[in-house]
Amino acid sequence: MLGSFIFGLPSDREATFDATVAVAEQSGVTFAQFVMLTPYPGTTDFAAWEKSMAGDPTRIEGIPLTRHWLIPQALRPKVYASHPAMSPDDIRRGTQGAWDRFYSFSNIWERAHCVKSLKSRLAFVLISKLYRQMYANTGIATDSARVGRSASWARWIAKPCRRLFSAKPMPDLPVPV
């Protein structure tokens, strides 16, 4: 089961990050993703944010901030809406910390009890680390060096995972034409 948690809501405070990780661990989710609030068109959050930004002339490469999906990836801000109690860096650090705590080796190993064999547990650990590398490192910090490093780690982790799931071909299985 995958749990998805959003940080940066007006009610969030510093303690929200630890409390959210605790809820994820206690609920028994196998995987979790922790994302920062991003207003997307068609949502009530976007409508309220766009209205609040009506007089803001902020542009990046000539593109209004309210059209953030058109801003080149490397130049996009990480947090779009102001928060009443935390800075954008506080939210970013808290979100990254949630990923780090949930995907620590000890926490992954504890969750790996959902499978029986040692081979399966090893595969679970590797896949958990792969998931974390693919989503936490590229979703929060998208500078090109970090994306490149994350992709390298993902390739390195994926190779042993592939071997764990490989099996001999089934002899009577027809090959699709």
As for how many domains the chain has, the answer is: 1
Residue 128 lies in a domain: yes
Long-range contacts of 83-90 (CB under 8 A, 24+ apart): 83/8, 83/10, 83/12, 84/10, 85/12, 85/13, 85/14, 86/8, 86/12, 86/13, 86/14, 90/14
Domain coverage including residue 141: 108-166
Per-residue pLDDT of the chain (177 residues; tens, 9 = 90+): 899 999 999 999 999 999 999 999 999 999 999 999 888 888 898 888 888 888 888 888 988 888 888 888 888 887 777 788 999 889 999 999 999 999 999 999 999 988 888 988 988 898 898 888 777 765 544 444 556 666 776 777 777 767 666 677 777 877 777
